[in-house]
C-alpha cells in the first residue's frame, strides 16, 4: 500500500478498497513504527489527521471529492498550520501554535488532503543536512548514518521511507531539490511566484518558493495543481493562470533540446554521480531528445552571491522573533536589551545566528554597496546566463548535487563546505526559475538526483520531461531497504 502513487491511492479510495481513515491510520502506524529512528516528523497530528480523514470519507461518499480528497500528506514545519504547533525547526517557536493557515496549507485542506503532521527541517530552513534542527537531525532512510539533505530533510526522508505519500517542502537555495536527490525522491521547486509564500515562514523572501516532494513526477503534478496559483495575500505571487500539469505529462520528447552546462560537470563533481547523470542523459537521447553543451559562465558566483542575498534578507526577516508577541522569551530579562539579546541568542541555533550576523554585516553602513548591492548586480549576471541558455535549449540538465549523501557530522563544523554542496541548485533560486530533481541510477547504493531546470513558468514542461524518464525507467520506484 505505501508504495502506491497518489493516483492509485485516490482510485482505491473511490473504489472503496479502503477508507481515508484506514489509509491515514496505516501511515500513522508506519510513522509510529519507523520514525523513531528517522526523526522526520517534529509533530505528528494523529487526532487532527483522523478527524480530517473522517470528513474526507464523507465527501468521498457524497461524490464531492477531488483527486486529493482523503490522501494523507505531511507539511514541512515551515508552513503555518492553524491550531497546530509550527516550529520551523527552531527552539524559538517550540511552543508556537499558529493562529492561521498558510495559503498552501489552506489550499490543500480545501482539496481534502489529510495532514499527518509537520516534518523536521533545518532551523528556519538554513542548512543542507537537517543537522541544524533544534529537534535533532533527520536520518536518511537509505543509510541512517548519512544526512537526508536539507532544509526539507524531514519531508524528503518521510516520503522516501513511505511514511507519507507526499509532502510539502520549500526551496531557497536547493532545499527541495537537494534532499530529494539525497533521498531518492522527486522534488519540484516551481518558478518564484508560482506558489504563494503567505504563511510560509520567510527565510529569504526573494528566493523562497514552496513545492511538492513526492515519489514521482506524476504525483508532483497532482500536488502542484492544488498548491499553485495567485494569492492576493502575497504581493510577489504571479497572477497567471495555472495550466493542467497532468494533461501533457506523457507528451513525446522527440526534438526536445537539452542543455548540459559544462560548468556543472567540472571539478568537484563526484565521478560516480557524474556517471549516473550521464546514464540518464543517454535515456533522454533514446527518448528522442537532442543534447547540447551550453555554458553558464557565472555559475561559480552563485554560492557567494547567495551567501550575501539570503543572509541579508534573513537578518531582517528574523528580527520579528524578539520575545515580545510570540515565541521564546528568556527568563527574567533585566531590561529591554537583555530581553531581545538573550531571547534571540537562546532561541536561535548557531547557523541561524551566523547567517543573521553575516546579513546584518552585509547591510550595515559602509558595507551595503560592496556586499548587498554588488551581490544583486552579480545576481543579474547569473540570471542573464539562463536567459541566454534558454534561447538555445528547452531545458537544462545536470546533477542536483556534486555528491551523494554525506555522513552526519561530516560537514557540520565547516559552514563553507556545507554551502558548496548547493552549488548546482542555488543559481536557479537566484534567477527564480523552476527546477526539479528526480532520482536516477544510484551511486554505490546511494540515491543520485538529476536536476532539470526550465524557463519561467515551464513547470508543465519539467514535469513532462521528468515523467517520461520515469515511464522509461524505474529508478523512482526504488525504496530504501527494510521499508
Scan residues 356-395 and list those touching other proteins (CB under 8 A).
356-358, 360-365, 368, 370-381, 383
- Binding to other proteins (CB under 8 A) within 236-255 occurs at 236, 238-239
- CA separation for the pair 418, 400 (Å, rounded): 15
- Binding to other proteins (CB under 8 A) within 57-116 occurs at 79-80, 86, 88, 93, 95-100, 102
Q: How far is the CB of 210 from other proteins (least distance, A)?
A: 11
What the block records as the C-alpha cell of 33 is 513504527
Q: Is 307 in the site for other proteins (CB under 8 A)?
A: yes
The answer to whether the peptide bond before residue 151 is cis (omega within 30 degrees of 0) is yes
- Binding to other proteins (CB under 8 A) within 312-341 occurs at 312-313, 315-316, 318-327, 329, 333-341
Number of shown-chain residues binding other proteins (CB under 8 A) = 100
Q: Which is nearer to other proteins, 39 or 305 (CB)?
A: 305
Q: How far is the CB of 365 from other proteins (least distance, A)?
A: 5
- Binding to other proteins (CB under 8 A) within 413-432 occurs at 415-416, 419, 430-432
Q: Is 467:459 a contact under the CB 8 Å cutoff?
A: no
Active site residues: 76, 151, 175
Q: Which is nearer to other proteins, 106 or 218 (CB)?
A: 106
Q: Which is nearer to other proteins, 250 or 370 (CB)?
A: 370
The window from 136-144, 265-273, 287-295, 353-361 that contacts other proteins (CB under 8 A) reads 353-361
Q: Is 101:196 a contact under the CB 8 Å cutoff?
A: no
Contact characters 431-460, other proteins, x per CB under 8 A: xxx----------------------x----
Q: Is 308 in the site for other proteins (CB under 8 A)?
A: yes
Q: Is 279 in the site for other proteins (CB under 8 A)?
A: no
Q: Is 267 in the site for other proteins (CB under 8 A)?
A: no
Q: Is 159 in the site for other proteins (CB under 8 A)?
A: no
Q: Which is nearer to other proteins, 27 or 321 (CB)?
A: 321
By residue count, the chain amounts to: 483
Q: Which is nearer to other proteins, 363 or 479 (CB)?
A: 363
Q: How far is the CB of 127 from other proteins (least distance, A)?
A: 14
Q: Which is nearer to other proteins, 97 or 444 (CB)?
A: 97
- CA separation for the pair 60, 406 (Å, rounded): 44
- Could you tell me if residue 69 is left (phi over 0), alpha (psi between -120 and 50 degrees) or otherwise beta? beta
- Binding to other proteins (CB under 8 A) within 173-202 occurs at 191-193, 197-202
Amino acid at each position: 500500500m505505501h508504495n502506491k502513487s497518489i493516483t492509485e491511492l485516490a482510485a482505491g479510495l473511490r473504489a472503496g478498497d479502503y477508507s481515508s481513515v484506514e489509509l491515514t491510520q496505516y501511515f500513522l502506524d508506519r510513522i509510529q513504527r519507523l520514525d523513531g529512528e528517522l526523526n522526520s516528523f517534529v509533530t505528528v497530528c494523529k487526532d487532527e489527521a483522523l478527524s480530517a480523514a473522517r470528513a474526507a470519507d464523507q465527501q468521498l461518499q457524497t461524490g464531492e471529492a477531488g483527486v486529493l480528497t482523503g490522501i494523507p500528506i505531511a507539511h514541512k514545519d515551515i508552513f503555518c498550520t492553524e491550531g497546530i504547533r509550527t516550529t520551523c525547526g527552531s527552539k524559538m517557536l517550540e511552543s508556537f501554535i499558529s493562529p492561521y493557515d498558510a495559503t498552501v496549507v489552506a489550499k490543500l485542506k480545501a482539496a481534502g488532503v489529510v495532514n499527518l503532521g509537520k516534518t523536521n527541517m533545518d532551523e528556519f530552513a538554513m542548512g543542507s543536512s537537517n543537522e541544524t534542527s533544534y529537534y535533532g537531525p533527520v536520518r536518511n532512510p537509505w543509510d541512517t548514518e548519512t544526512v537526508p539533505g536539507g532544509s526539507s530533510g524531514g519531508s524528503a526522508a518521510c516520503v522516501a521511507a513511505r511514511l507519507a505519500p507526499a509532502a510539502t517542502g520549500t526551496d531557497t537555495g536547493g532545499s527541495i531539490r537537494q534532499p530529494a536527490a539525497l533521498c531518492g525522491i522527486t522534488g519540484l521547486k516551481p518558478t518564484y511566484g508560482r506558489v504563494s509564500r503567505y504563511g510560509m515562514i520567510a527565510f529569504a523572501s526573494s528566493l523562497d518558493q514552496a513545492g511538492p516532494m513526492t515519489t514521482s513526477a506524476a504525483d508532483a503534478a497532482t500536488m502542484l495543481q492544488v498548491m499553485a496559483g495567485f494569492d492576493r495575500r502575497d504581493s510577489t505571487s504571479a497572477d497567471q493562470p495555472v495550466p493542467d500539469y497532468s494533461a501533457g505529462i506523457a507528451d513525446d520528447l522527440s526534438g526536445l533540446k537539452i542543455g548540459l552546462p559544462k560548468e556543472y560537470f567540472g571539478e568537484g563533481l563526484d565521478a560516480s554521480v557524474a556517471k549516473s547523470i550521464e546514464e540518464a542523459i543517454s535515456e533522454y537521447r533514446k527518448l528522442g531528445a537532442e543534447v547540447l553543451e551550453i555554458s553558464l559562465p557565472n555559475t561559480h558566483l552563485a554560492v557567494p552571491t547567495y551567501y550575501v542575498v539570503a543572509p541579508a534578507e534573513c537578518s531582517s526577516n528574523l528580527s520579528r522573533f524578539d520575545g515580545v508577541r510570540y515565541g521564546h522569551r528568556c527568563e527574567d530579562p533585566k531590561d529591554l536589551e537583555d530581553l531581545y539579546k538573550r531571547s534571540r541568542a537562546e532561541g536561535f541555533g548557531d547557523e541561524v545566528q551566523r547567517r543573521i550576523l553575516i546579513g546584518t554585516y552585509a547591510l550595515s553602513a559602509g558595507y551595503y554597496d560592496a556586499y548587498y548591492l554588488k551581490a544583486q548586480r552579480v545576481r543579474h549576471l547569473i540570471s542573464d546566463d539562463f536567459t541566454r541558455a534558454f534561447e538555445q535549449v528547452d531545458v537544462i540538465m545536470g546533477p542536483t548535487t556534486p555528491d551523494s549523501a554525506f555522513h552526519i557530522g561530516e560537514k557540520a563544523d565547516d559552514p563553507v563546505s556545507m554551502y558548496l554542496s548547493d552549488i548546482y541548485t542555488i543559481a536557479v533560486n537566484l534567477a527564480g526559475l523552476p527546477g526539479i530533481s528526480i532520482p536516477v541510477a544510484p551511486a554505490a547504493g546511494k540515491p543520485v538526483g538529476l536536476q532539470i531546470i526550465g524557463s519561467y513558468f515551464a513547470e508543465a514542461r519539467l514535469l513532462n520531461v521528468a515523467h517520461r524518464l520515469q515511464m522509461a525507467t524505474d529508478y523512482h520506484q526504488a525504496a530504501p531497504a527494510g521499508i
